[in-house]
Structure 1
Amino acid sequence: MKSFLLKTFTWWNSQTFGTQVWTWLYGEAVGEDEFGNRYFRTKGGKIDPSLGFERRWVIYPGYAEASTIPPSWHGWMHHTVDTPPTQENYTPREWQKPHRPNLTGTPGAYRPPGSTLAQGQRPRATGDYNAWAPGD
């Protein structure tokens, strides 16, 4: 019952019931990435007359967070490339870092030195500015 209610009333928790039906009727699976995101397009790559190109969508395994889409799939989703990553032989270069989702708002977010949220002691002010005083 909980699963049914979540699919009916929440869009941020995986897929809604409507998306599940739409995918079943009109979609074909294209692939899956290392985060468990599943990618779909219209059956046979059919062009949507209202858009002028094929529809492409992703179903997240849990919480819908767009920053979990890796760069290779991002290019395909936004029609930058026509070939999905599952159909090409690509090996990442040794200088490329693995994809990380956006960590803003989480404990893993970047906090520069001097931030009130950073760990430890804040560095002293260097005196590189003059404070405003009335009458100046």
Structure 2
Amino acid sequence: MSTFLKQFFTWWNGNQLNFRYHLWRHAEKVGEDEFGNVYYQGGKDSEGRPHRYVVYPDISEPSLIPPGWHGWMHHKTDIAPPDSSYEAHEWQKPHRPNLTGTPSAYHPKGSLYNTGERPRVTGDYDAWSPGE
């Protein structure tokens, strides 16, 4: 399927053409991140704040928005990461993909998928048995 048809008929492959037309007419580009996401701002929402948009390069994947851009998108800050006065906080970590459903997913102690033996029950817990 061609890129044009994907953008025309599906919302999960980038953005639809009518959305891109809206951005072209009513929004200005603010910046771009290391994943290829492009950020725009334009118009006003019901609270009088500027609308903020993101255009994904491929499949729409909101978890690929870095922390600095996430704060900007949700009006936590008005300083976008490309701004010279932007400073990342020490607690902001680089993006890691969601590994749920993959072999690299997190499995806590006691999980059926975790290798090794399940930890023994301590004295503060009595397991239920159907015969009791």
TM-score normalized with structure 2 length = 0.79
1:29 is aligned to 29
1:71 is displaced (CA, Å) by 1.1
1:59 is displaced (CA, Å) by 0.7
Equivalent residue runs for 1:1-136 within 5 Å: 2-42=2-42, 46=43, 48=44, 50-90=46-86, 92=88, 97-118=93-114, 120-123=115-118, 125-126=120-121, 128-133=125-130, 136=132
Partner Cα separation in structure 2 for residue 12 and residue 49 of structure 1: 24
Superposed CA RMSD: 2.5
Partner Cα separation in structure 1 for residue 93 and residue 50 of structure 2: 31
Change (3 A) 1:126 1:107: same
The unaligned stretches of length 5 or more in structure 1 are none
Identity across the alignment (%): 45
1:78 is displaced (CA, Å) by 0.8
1:124 is displaced (CA, Å) by 5.7
Classify the secondary structure of the residue corresponding to 1:31.
Answer: strand
TM-score normalized with structure 1 length = 0.77
For the 8 Å contact 2:79–2:86, the answer to whether it is kept is no
Higher helix share: 1
Task: In structure 2, give the amino acid aligned to 1:30.
Answer: V
Change (3 A) 1:58 1:111: same
The unaligned stretches of length 5 or more in structure 2 are none
